[in-house]
Amino acid sequence: MLILCPRCKLISPNLVRLPQAAIARREIALTFDDGPHAEITPQILDHLDLHNAKATFFCIGEKVAAHPNLVAEIMRRGHSVENHSYRHNTLFAFSSPSLLANDIVKTQKAIEAATHGTAPRFFRAPFGFRSPFLGRVLRRLGLQHVAWTRRGYDTTSRNPDTVLRRLSRNLAAGDILLLHDGKPGLVVLPRLLELCSHKELRSVSLSMIFKDVETPPQICNRTMTSAGGDHTPSTNAPS
């Protein structure tokens, strides 16, 4: 099933590597899923600061609502905060268009509230599993789906060396790396950052890489039903 193919592009647009301009600048994108975490996230931020590295945090909406000040701190330190659904539901990919839209918009609102109006521009589906309806919903909300070039499977492996090896094998400019906002990712991060420095690779956030791309409109006042495609979209909705 294509739903279970997180990196494929047949269902809908899917970013798995950075554009050529970022590759030429020797940039990579470190991304952290499933946060924020009250204890782990601040330590991740400190490690990133030590290496002058910027990252992208794909955050879960209910955790954003629980830790708005921490989300604001992520932004204050120059990283980007993006949408990773509201509850990271296992069955997210099997939801109807209207339920997908409700979930994504609810998370957008939580992040906008925590960041004082900065709307996410990117979305990553839970587990990377995408519904055939998701592309249309994201397009109407002005969001781009982001997968990854390589991942460490840091939520399932107990061996930091194995996680690092998965992330670093053939590591190159333009790669999007997936870690999680948890202890295994935190353990691996210092060594990964050292390796990037050795390879002269610079970690930047997705918002930095795509800063010249038109920012989608804030959606706090947009209807969830129009985003889901159940009614005619408003004239302000992206085509």
150-151 and 144-145 strand pairing: unpaired
Q: Is 33 a catalytic residue?
A: yes
Q: How many CB atoms lie within 10 A of CB 52?
A: 11
Let me know: does 36 contact 63? Beta carbons within 8 Å: yes
- From 79, 84, 145, 180, the catalytic residue: 180
Distances (CA, A) of 20 to 24, 26, 28, 69, 104: 6, 10, 11, 35, 29
Token pair recorded at residue 145 = 């789906």
Token pair recorded at residue 158 = 């107990």
d(C-alpha 91, C-alpha 17), whole Å: 26
* The Cα angle at residue 29 between residues 26 and 34, in degrees rounded to 5: 170
Q: Looking at residue 167, what DSSP letter applies?
A: H
SS3 content of the chain, % helix, strand, coil (to 5): 40, 15, 45
Let me know: does 112 contact 118? Beta carbons within 8 Å: yes
- From 33, 103, 175, 181, the catalytic residue: 33
* The Cα angle at residue 126 between residues 123 and 129, in degrees rounded to 5: 95
Catalytic residue annotation: 33, 180
